[in-house]
Each structure stands twice: as C-alpha cells, then as structure tokens.
A and B are shown apart, each in its own frame.
Chain A
Amino acid sequence: MLEKVKNEEIICVGSGVMDKVLTIAPVYCYDVHSFLYYENQTPLVAYFIKSGKGKLFRRGDVDIPFGPGNIIGLKELMKNEPSYFGAELEAGSSLIYLDRSTIYEIIGEGLDKELKAFFEERLPPVKVPAYFSD
C-alpha cells in the first residue's frame, strides 16, 4: 500500500525532461528547513527538486525520501485534492515551482511537445480554463 502511494505521489523525471523544465522556470534555493505542505493540505504548487533532499511524512511515523529529479504534489495540485502526506525539504536544497498557471501553459499552449506529453501522461485529463488561454 505504502509503495503504491509512494509511486503515485513522487514522479520521477528523466534527464531530457529535467533539462526542459529548467528552461521554463527559475531555480530557487532553500536556505532553511521548510515544510512545503502539510498532510491533508492541497499543495500550493508542484515542486520539482533540482538538488538536495526532503521527505514525505505522515503523522511523524512514515518517512519517504525524495531527491533530485523528483516532482511532488503535482497530481494533488491539479486534481485540487488534499495530499495524504506532508512534505518537508532540507536546508540547502533547490527546486523549481510548477504552479497551476505554468502547467496550464505547458499543456494548453503546447510550448514544448515533450513536456506537454510528459504532463499529460501523468495527470488525469486537464481542461485548460478558457480564461487562461485568452
């Protein structure tokens, strides 16, 4: 069960997609340990880990590590659902924010076919709102 949840909540990215993601949004460094989101919350953005490490946690007794090349919070963000796990990031890590607007841009405007296919394969059908393509 845990393995299933882990596989669904942590998305692994290959180097090709990773390079492309790096071209669409800036990388930010976290100088202090931070909670990205808490359990039962909907992530505010999806987090693409560039370097460093963190973990998904549940009530202090489940720890699932994640690291470079992983995306967390993506499905919950786009489905607008609370996450079963919380997520925390260690100081010194760096990441990219993938907010809803950016994901709509990738899927709706089709700026890059490979990125569009990557997100479409990993998400349930996303209807890009009309207001976002105005």
Chain B
Amino acid sequence: MTNRPQSKCHNCPALNQSVFCSLNDDVLHEVSEHKVSNTYKKGQTLFVQGNHPFGLYCITSGNIKVTKVGADGKESIVRLASKGDVLGHRSLFTKQHYMATATALEDSNVCFIDKKFIMKLVKKEPTVAMEVIEKLSTDMGAAESKLSSLHQKNVRERLAELLLLLKESHGVKEEDGLYRINLKLTREEMATMIGTANETLIRFISEFKNAGLIKQVAKTIYITNEEELTNWAHLAY
C-alpha cells in the first residue's frame, strides 16, 4: 500500500497543530501508511448527524463547518474546523452517534484514521492521548464560552465577539495593518453562529460598518478598529 507523496504526515502543513505533533518519525510513518487522505469539495459532507462514528478526521487544509439540525429543522453552526483541527475525536471514546454534520465550506484536504488504529496508538503513545485531551478541553472551553455568550450577551455583543474570534482563527494581516477575515461565510451562516435572524445580523453589520469597526469589500470582511470592536464585545476574561 502506498500513500501519495503529498499526503505523508511528515510533510503535512498542519503537523505542528495536530494531535500527532509529538510523535517520533517512526510512529509518524506508521500513521502516514495507515491513513486515508481525501479532498472534499465545497458542500461535500465528511459525516452526518445521527450516523455512527468510525475514526478520526484531521484537517490538513481548508475549512469545515460543523452543524446541528434542531427539532424545527433549522441548521446552526456549532463550530468551524480548519488546518490542524481534528473532528470525530469526541465520538472516539463514546458509543454515541455523531451529534452534528461536518461539511466542507471550500475544497478541503482531510485525512482519516480508523478507530481501531487510533485506540492502538493511544495505548502505545500516551502523547497522542494527551493531545486529544487538550483538544477536547479546548472544545469544551469554547462551548462553555458560547453558551454563556448566548445567555448573557445581546446580538451586538455576540456579533462583535464572533468577528474577533474569526479574526483570531482566520485573520490575515494586510499591508495596511487591517485584518482580512479569510473565510467566506454567508450571512445566514453567520446568523446561526450567534443565534439570531438573518435580517437582524444584516442590520448590525450595517451598524458596525457605519461605526467604522469593519469594512466590507465584495463578500470579504476587514476588521478596521479592533480595539473598539473588543469594547463592543464586552469580553470578560
């Protein structure tokens, strides 16, 4: 069995951010030989809410949205995963079905490792277990922050917070010092991320633009006044 050269873990641009970052060359080679690498085109699903999990997904490049469909049939984005992130790790240690659907927001390269191999690796290389625990803890922290934000903040504050989070995860500093959010989300997708209606989100984006906090060129958002945006977000640490 031979992997395509570009899919070797040693050459992975996301290796330093992945759960395999501490592995030595020999073990990394084993992972490389065992995994399956694929490109998911925009709109293709990695897994679907309700189906049974069977392994771990590592994002090498691109962006994946993780969504849940509520009882009313409405879809909401619960998190975004990008280079170096893993998906399916929570389900590795439970017998639960996938609680959400993962869909590529753009063409994305994703590697997959089956559950049996991962469990074997976790026993042999405790550093992998530690990295997975760290990812789970980070996810839990983010989920708690989102929950309290939804309960305690108004839409204006939540939108400011979302823009700051997107700046952290997908911001690219331009020559003029502004941050460009390098992620194309529809207004509807952004609205579901902060738990509001599409129309409300559009109204607040206009307000943010008028206040000089952000600017928009075509569909791309730039952060123009991060300090004021932070004030509007009422971030508590």
* Binary B-proximity of A30-62 (CB < 8 A = 1, otherwise 0): 111011011011111100000000000000000
In-complex Cβ contact of B48 among A32, A40, A131 (8 A): A32
Give B residues with C-beta under 8 Å from A: 1-4, 30, 33-34, 36-41, 44-45, 48-52, 54-55, 112, 114-117, 120, 124
A-B contact count, CB below 8 Å? 69
In-complex Cβ contact of A30 among B51, B117, B120 (8 A): B51
A35 to B4 alpha-carbon distance, docked (Å):
24
Chain A residues with Cβ below 8 Å from B49 are: 32
A77 to B112 alpha-carbon distance, docked (Å):
12
A97 to B50 alpha-carbon distance, docked (Å):
16
Give A residues with C-beta under 8 Å from B: 28, 30-32, 34-35, 37-38, 40-45, 77-80, 97, 99-102, 126-127, 129, 131, 134
The answer to whether A126 touches B44, judged by C-beta atoms less than 8 angstroms apart, is no
In-complex Cβ contact of A28 among B33, B52, B120 (8 A): B52
Chain A residues with Cβ below 8 Å from B50 are: 31-32
With contact pairs A34-B51, A44-B55 given, residues A99 and B1 touching in the complex (Cβ less than 8 Å)? no
In-complex Cβ contact of A41 among B38, B55, B114 (8 A): B38
The answer to whether B52 touches A99, judged by C-beta atoms less than 8 angstroms apart, is no
Given contacts A42-B36, A44-B54, A134-B124, 17 further A-B contacts (CB under 8 A): A31-B51, A32-B51, A34-B48, A37-B38, A38-B41, A42-B38, A44-B114, A78-B1, A80-B2, A80-B3, A99-B115, A100-B114, A101-B114, A101-B116, A101-B120, A102-B114, A126-B1
The closest CB in chain B to the CB of A80 belongs to B1
Chain A residues with Cβ below 8 Å from B1 are: 78-80, 126-127
